[in-house]
């Protein structure tokens, strides 16, 4: 249950394919823009210390076969702000929302490969700035610094999940509600 150990173990499953690593397995990645090969944790901490938000580009059934609770806490501790996937394991998607991470789905028939996304881009997710304008299942535009633009569906599936996101996750939501009593 040690959060530092769990955060370091995030993405350590050898079945995870990190396309930035050209088929290598293990919890390693490429730090963009330096090109250094680092542990996922070290790269995440470098992004966090420089104030850069990170996202995950994922395939189908993202979160399947993992310890669902820690599979969402690890990315949150590493500073991940959004996951763009073909689809999510049901409970994992909800756990991401509970950690304040935005789950987005590519449109049907699209994924990082079909859109020509490499993971080296910088992404802007065009969510409404006013939380009251976000609706469950709403489509939003995502743009990259190289001019690509595509539509994703925001996977906040209920008004309660929107409330959790508005508060930065379930824990801040609960604490704020308790402090009102």
DSSP string, 44-83: HHHHHHTT--EEEE--TTBTTTS-HHHHHHHHHHTTEEEE
DSSP class of 131: G
pTM: 0.89
pLDDT in tens, 169-178: 888 888 888 8
pLDDT in tens, 108-157: 999 999 999 999 999 999 999 888 899 989 999 999 999 999 999 999 99
90 in helix, strand or coil?
helix
């Amino acid at each position: 249950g040690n959060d530092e150990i769990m955060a370091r173990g995030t993405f350590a499953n050898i079945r995870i394919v990190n396309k930035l690593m050209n088929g290598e397995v293990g919890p390693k990645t490429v730090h963009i823009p330096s090109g250094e090969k680092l542990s996922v944790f070290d790269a995440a901490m470098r992004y966090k210390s420089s104030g850069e938000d990170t996202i995950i580009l994922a395939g189908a059934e993202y979160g399947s076969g993992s310890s669902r609770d820690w599979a969402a806490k690890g990315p949150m501790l590493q500073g991940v702000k959004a996951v763009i996937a073909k689809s999510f394991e049901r409970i994992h998607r909800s756990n991401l929302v509970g950690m304040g991470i935005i789950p987005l789905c590519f449109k049907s028939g699209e994924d990082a490969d079909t859109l020509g996304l490499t993971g080296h881009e910088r992404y802007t997710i065009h969510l409404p700035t006013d939380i009251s304008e976000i609706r469950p299942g709403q489509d939003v535009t995502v743009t990259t610094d190289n001019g690509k633009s595509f539509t994703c569906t925001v996977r906040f599936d209920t008004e309660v999940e929107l409330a959790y996101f508005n508060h930065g996750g379930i824990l801040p939501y609960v604490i704020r509600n308790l402090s009102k009593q």
